[in-house]
């Protein structure tokens, strides 16, 4: 019994000694301050740092090596408060082939009151000037024709003062305008859309005629859904409802 007691006491002393030693060797590691969704570009505002004592075999990214995160996306969903690891990073291109990122400046009422989060999918709509509904196209061209006019499926929208620009777009980043700018916008949002419809969205945004509607997470994101009318690039700015 005496020998057994000595063994137990020795083990406890060794355990406490190990804990004490590890407590004195803490490392500044990168942590996730805001939850990340799969495919989301990772920015400095999403991250923080914490002094942690990491056991052997636990992956983490030291703050001193945070430069490896630049330009990367989340390989999977990462909850807030987690240590960021190399396995959480994806080296996929920032913009998918055939897509483009367009920035839109939004006022209150042009986006959901709850705000938007990178990775979410939205419907991009064109809003008419108050009292002046959007002009309707003379006829509805068939899908695949080089045009920026509405297709037959848009007929239900004609006359309502709004038109669908992009049925499914992905939110890339969300920021608030600098208060010192003195502008009237409440939110700056970058959305990823098919490159052929990017000029349409940019033109409508410059006229302050863009609104974003949040879609369910299961909304399709194929190229057909992002550009269902088969629009091809043109040099003429759209004057009516476009997709």
Judge whether residue 139 has pLDDT over 90: no
Mean pLDDT calculated for residue range 156-171? 68
The whole-number pLDDT of residue 119 equals 82
Instruction: Kindly state whether residue 34 falls inside one of the protein's structural domains.
Output: yes
Judge whether residue 125 has pLDDT over 50: yes
Do 47 and 126 sit in the same domain of this protein?
no
Do 220 and 117 sit in the same domain of this protein?
yes
Do 190 and 205 sit in the same domain of this protein?
yes
The whole-number pLDDT of residue 134 equals 47
Instruction: Kindly state whether residue 158 falls inside one of the protein's structural domains.
Output: yes
Summarize pLDDT for 190-239 with one digit per residue, the tens: 999 999 999 999 999 999 899 999 998 765 655 555 665 555 544 344 44
Judge whether residue 153 has pLDDT over 80: no
Which one has a higher pLDDT value, 169 or 151? 169
Which one has a higher pLDDT value, 17 or 97? 97
d(CA 229, CA 238): 14
Do 142 and 221 sit in the same domain of this protein?
yes
- Among 45, 71, 94, identify where a domain stops: 94
Which one has a higher pLDDT value, 55 or 137? 55
Instruction: Kindly state whether residue 243 falls inside one of the protein's structural domains.
Output: no
Summarize pLDDT for 176-192 with one digit per residue, the tens: 887 777 778 899 999 99
Summarize pLDDT for 71-121 with one digit per residue, the tens: 788 877 888 888 898 888 887 566 778 999 999 999 999 999 989 988 889
The whole-number pLDDT of residue 111 equals 94
Do 116 and 218 sit in the same domain of this protein?
yes
Do 89 and 199 sit in the same domain of this protein?
no
Looking up residue 46, the CATH number of its domain turns out to be 3.90.1210.10
Do 90 and 126 sit in the same domain of this protein?
no
Cβ-Cβ contacts under 8 Å for 150 (sequence gap 6 or more) = 136, 137, 140, 157, 158, 163, 229, 240, 241, 242, 243
The whole-number pLDDT of residue 45 equals 83
Do 105 and 145 sit in the same domain of this protein?
yes
Instruction: Kindly state whether residue 10 falls inside one of the protein's structural domains.
Output: no
H helix intervals, the chain: 2-23, 198-206, 223-226
The whole-number pLDDT of residue 100 equals 92
Which one has a higher pLDDT value, 5 or 145? 5
d(CA 93, CA 73): 9
Give the confidence band of 149 by pLDDT, cuts at 50, 70, 90: very low
Summarize pLDDT for 43-75 with one digit per residue, the tens: 888 899 888 877 777 788 888 888 888 778 887
- Among 94, 113, 132, identify where a domain stops: 94
Instruction: Kindly state whether residue 82 falls inside one of the protein's structural domains.
Output: yes
Do 129 and 199 sit in the same domain of this protein?
yes
3-class SS string, 192-237:
EEECCCHHHHHHHHHCCCEEEEECCCCCCCCHHHHCCCCCCCCCCC
Instruction: Kindly state whether residue 234 falls inside one of the protein's structural domains.
Output: no
d(CA 37, CA 33): 13
Do 75 and 118 sit in the same domain of this protein?
no
Domain, as residue range, for 121: 99-226
Do 190 and 164 sit in the same domain of this protein?
yes
Judge whether residue 127 has pLDDT over 70: yes
Let me know: does 87 contact 75? Beta carbons within 8 Å.
yes
Instruction: Kindly state whether residue 77 falls inside one of the protein's structural domains.
Output: yes
Q: pTM for this structure?
A: 0.51
Number of domains in the chain: 2
Do 186 and 78 sit in the same domain of this protein?
no
């Amino acid at each position: 019994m005496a020998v057994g007691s000595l063994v137990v006491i020795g083990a406890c002393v060794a355990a406490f000694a190990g804990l004490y030693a590890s407590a004195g060797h803490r490392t500044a590691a990168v942590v996730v301050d805001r939850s990340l969704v799969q495919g989301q570009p990772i920015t400095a505002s999403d991250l923080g740092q914490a002094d942690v004592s990491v056991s052997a075999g636990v992956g983490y990214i030291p703050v001193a090596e945070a430069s490896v995160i630049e330009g990367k996306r989340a390989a999977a969903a990462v909850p807030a408060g987690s240590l960021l690891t190399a396995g959480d990073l994806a080296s996929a291109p920032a913009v998918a082939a055939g897509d483009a990122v367009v920035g839109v400046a939004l006022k209150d009422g042009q986006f959901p009151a709850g705000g938007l989060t990178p990775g979410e999918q939205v419907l991009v709509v064109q809003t008419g000037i108050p009292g002046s509904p959007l002009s309707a196209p003379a006829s509805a061209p068939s899908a695949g024709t080089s045009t920026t006019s509405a297709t037959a499926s848009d007929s239900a929208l004609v006359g309502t003062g709004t038109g669908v620009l992009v049925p499914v777009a992905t939110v890339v980043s969300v920021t608030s305008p600098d208060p010192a700018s003195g502008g009237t916008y409440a939110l700056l949002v970058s959305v990823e859309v098919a490159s052929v419809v990017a000029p349409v969205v940019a033109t409508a945004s410059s006229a302050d005629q863009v609104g974003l509607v949040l879609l369910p997470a299961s909304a399709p994101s194929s190229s057909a859904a992002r550009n269902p009318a088969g629009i091809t690039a043109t040099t003429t700015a759209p004057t009516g409802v476009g997709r």
